[in-house]
Amino acid sequence: MTTAYPARPVRLKFEIGARTLLAVQRSLARVPLTLGEAREGRLPDLPPLEPHAHGYSVTSLPEDRQAAMLYASGGMLPFVRQRYTRYFLDFETGFDAWFGGLSSNARQGLKRKAKKIAGGGALDIRRFRTPDELEAFHTVARQISARTYQERLLGSGLPDGPEFIQEMLALAAADRARAWLLYVAGEPVAYLYCPVVGDTVIYAHVGHDPAFNDLSPGAVLQLEAMRDLFAENRFGRFDFTEGEGQHKRQFATGGVACVDLLLLRPSLVNRLTTTALGSFNASVALAKRAVNGAGLEKLAKRVRRG
């Protein structure tokens, strides 16, 4: 049976760095692939589109399956929204072997950051697993999330709606949720929340207080979370989900080259939109390469920030 995915508004942005110059809104049914499906190269089933929907947003599609996905779509108009590696960590090796497999610079850097945060004492990491514990976690983590750039600029902080809280507590009751908080001098500065699907731990919500950026609290908390998950010896892998990130590359033991692929109804408006957006993105990429090639790194950073 094909899963139904309701169409939701998605903004297709013409942007330079963090500055959005123009956005076109499309109503898209998001069709996500799990890590297992991406690793297997499996194509998702596309549900029937609602009459008002403009198409699909297929996320974590293996890069080498684009042609097959387009064929299966029955002639939809394709547009690659982003390319990335979907990273994962395999727990089979054990913590010591995994940590020893990191580069020496990464290991020393993490140890140095942890020592700086601890300030000569022990790290203050608090762990949450039961429904009562997760309820307490959520209250504190929301305070941190409200200060993060993810929430202030992207609207993607830790959710605080009743549906999310109900789901979180239900997962905790089934022993399918893990969460952590990192405190510095008694003040909560970073959080990590991970639901569990099967034997896979999902990197769902993470954030830290930007006032503590110089301490890298997110990386330190991630390392301690991994230490705990390895110690449980019950999980198969950690799924870093969609998108890139230095800590993902650093901690991962493998990855799948993926794309987020839009499949739009082949209307004139959609053709014009994707052509314009594709040309704009190519021009921005060309300009950035030219700036970098000329050795103007500071200017390049300014372009990325917008």
**Is residue 217 a contact partner of residue 190, using CB atoms and an 8 Å limit?**
yes
Q: What is the pLDDT of residue 141?
A: 97
Distant-in-sequence, close-in-space partners of 61: CB < 8 Å, separation ≥ 6:
33, 38, 43, 44, 69, 258, 259, 260, 261
Q: Which CATH class is domain 87-255?
A: alpha beta
Q: What is the pLDDT of residue 155?
A: 66
Q: What is the pLDDT of residue 305?
A: 45
Low-confidence ranges of the chain (pLDDT < 70): 1-4, 18, 153-155, 295-306
Task: Classify residue 160 by its DSSP letter.
Answer: -
- Among the listed residues 15, 288, 282, 284, the one whose alpha carbon sits nearest the alpha carbon of residue 299: 288
Q: Taking the CA of residue 122 as centre, how many other CA atoms within 13 Å lie in the half-sphere pointing to its CB?
A: 3
Q: Taking the CA of residue 209 as centre, how many other CA atoms within 13 Å lie in the half-sphere pointing to its CB?
A: 16
Q: What is the pLDDT of residue 262?
A: 97
147: tokens are: 């200060």
* Distance from C-alpha of 168 to C-alpha of 133, rounded to nearest angstrom: 11
**Is residue 263 a contact partner of residue 58, using CB atoms and an 8 Å limit?**
yes
Q: What is the pLDDT of residue 295?
A: 65
- Confidence (pTM): 0.88
Q: What is the pLDDT of residue 304?
A: 44
**Is residue 272 a contact partner of residue 54, using CB atoms and an 8 Å limit?**
no
What is the DSSP pairing of strand 124-128 with strand 205-208?
unpaired
In sequence order, what are the beta bridge partners of 107?
A: none
Residues 119-163: tens digit of each pLDDT: 889 999 999 999 999 999 999 999 999 998 777 766 678 999 999
CATH 3.40.630.30 in the chain is located at: 87-255
Residues 211-227: tens digit of each pLDDT: 999 999 999 999 999 99
